[in-house]
Amino acid sequence: MNKPIVVDDANFDQTVLQSKTPVLVDFWAAWCRPCLMVAPILDELAEEYAGRITIARLDVDQNAKTAVKYGIMAIPNLIIFKDGKPASQIVGYRPKAELKRGLDAVLD
């Protein structure tokens, strides 16, 4: 079963920016209710898009350096990185269908 991976300040560049496939990074925190609501959707997407896109989660409370670098002011904040650069961004809770449209747009 394919699940989201955990990234942090130490491995972000290697895991996300140097990835050969697009990576959706979920900037989240344990106290954030909308973040907890989007988590099971991301679990499903990780399975559905296995091999085409990587789903990653970064706890902003534990990894402030990366959160600040990408200007994360509100969470959940989903950034899709392609070729080492942000290609798309979604702020706030969104239903699965909308997240799939965002992923499909980057994959096309």
Would residue 35 show up in a list of annotated catalytic residues for this protein? yes
Q: Of 35, 53, 56, 60, which residue is the catalytic one?
A: 35
User: How far, in Å, CA of 83 to CA of 93, rounded?
Assistant: 25
Looking at the DSSP bridge assignments, the partners of residue 87 are none
Say whether 32 is catalytic: yes
Helix (H, G, I), strand (E, B) or coil at 69: helix
Q: Which two tokens stand for residue 85?
A: 């650069």
- Given the residues 7, 16, 32, 41, the one annotated as active site: 32
Residues recognised as catalytic: 32, 35
